[in-house]
Structure 1
């Protein structure tokens, strides 16, 4: 089995050694030549430039090369539409018909406005998409999820929770990462919108799902929710602060979104990842965190 890993950023750089240790034959595609230094099997180009011939040998394509946040998409809305939807769809139509393409969608398509009374939103499953995106990021992702069903074959979108954990190219702004870094660097954890909810997805759990999905021989569903657990932002901040023995600074509330996911379907296919407490996750983050990783991102 030959695998093409498209995107060598925060997620891709974590997945590559996991996939390689599992004995898989992986080639990486990324346009950032500097990041690919030392990567043995690499296509140093934009994935949009890959031809039918380039893709012919790959039986699985893993795509983590999108505009990966709301701020990035707000700065470049046309680019978000092209990258997260149109260019990705064209890639799906150039691959071999039965080659499996697994791409990064987002759990934020389930978002609702935070409830004033603090009630959590219901954990939604793959059938309960909200068709009212409010920013270019959600719009581009949900458009790809819809178009892929009609215009591509053997393609599965993973609606990722808020991704967390250490990686060679660390994203320090992500909620769990940011809270741990602040606790270690500043001696306190800042929190805003305590009553909002998120589904968080740790990189090791994403790797668990990816490895299992690659192995499955049956056709995959077109959409799968992928998360570790649902949690209130205040609960997460309190647990991280308690682990590090620092106070929580409450910055009040602002307009924000809230979502929870039901991940029963992917767990029925792949099995549940190993359960870990927030304290265990914090211990792992502290063990593997190096400030230069944040600078490198």
Structure 2
């Protein structure tokens, strides 16, 4: 895809991008070093969420099991509605009343899973998600300050496999993935989308941000309201647009900033135009 060549003009040292079709997981285009390992930052969260959803289907725990602050559940943690602060294990609101984006919440989620499963979270994620999908270069660093929220490393090639799984699930029942990516959890809540300010409403599924009508946003003006995914402060993003029947991954080695807010939507719109 010619649109992916746009990453050559990004103000970064290294970048890679890939587009994956939904129906069969075929790679429609790739550019840049596909096996270069990048720090994912918050693109780790969808991987953590997927591991948690596998745990739910395996009976390790349930979405409505208590986890986190008093009154919070696994579901609250996945949907950023536990009330926990951004980077502190401190309750800022009652569960279910505000959309407070929380790295701490994802680490509590991982700790809850690890305790229930009896193995470290990084090991569970590898055994439940990465190895079955052939994501050999993907891992979660348990020594990271917030491992389950931002401690992942991966490649464009590996995330292409994950993007294919999101569109045609094999590890999870399709209804589970649909509930996580297409149904708003705790609808109507407002909150801050990091890097893009206050959004009302600030819709999320379970571990995945749902675009809806948010503006400004890191996806494109042509992105459908049903687009879901995540971006990371390390200069990374993954989106799936069900209306386009495709997903896009872009990874870079420069921290998110005005450069990313400028070039990411342009790339997304160019990819979507080429898919039509």
**Where on the TM-score scale, by shorter chain, does this alignment land: which range?**
under 0.3
Which structure has the bigger radius of gyration?
A: 1
Q: Which has the higher helix share?
A: 1
TM-score normalised by L of structure 2: 0.27
Structure scoring higher RCO (CA < 8 A, sep ≥ 6) equals 2
| TM-score (normalised: structure 1) | 0.26
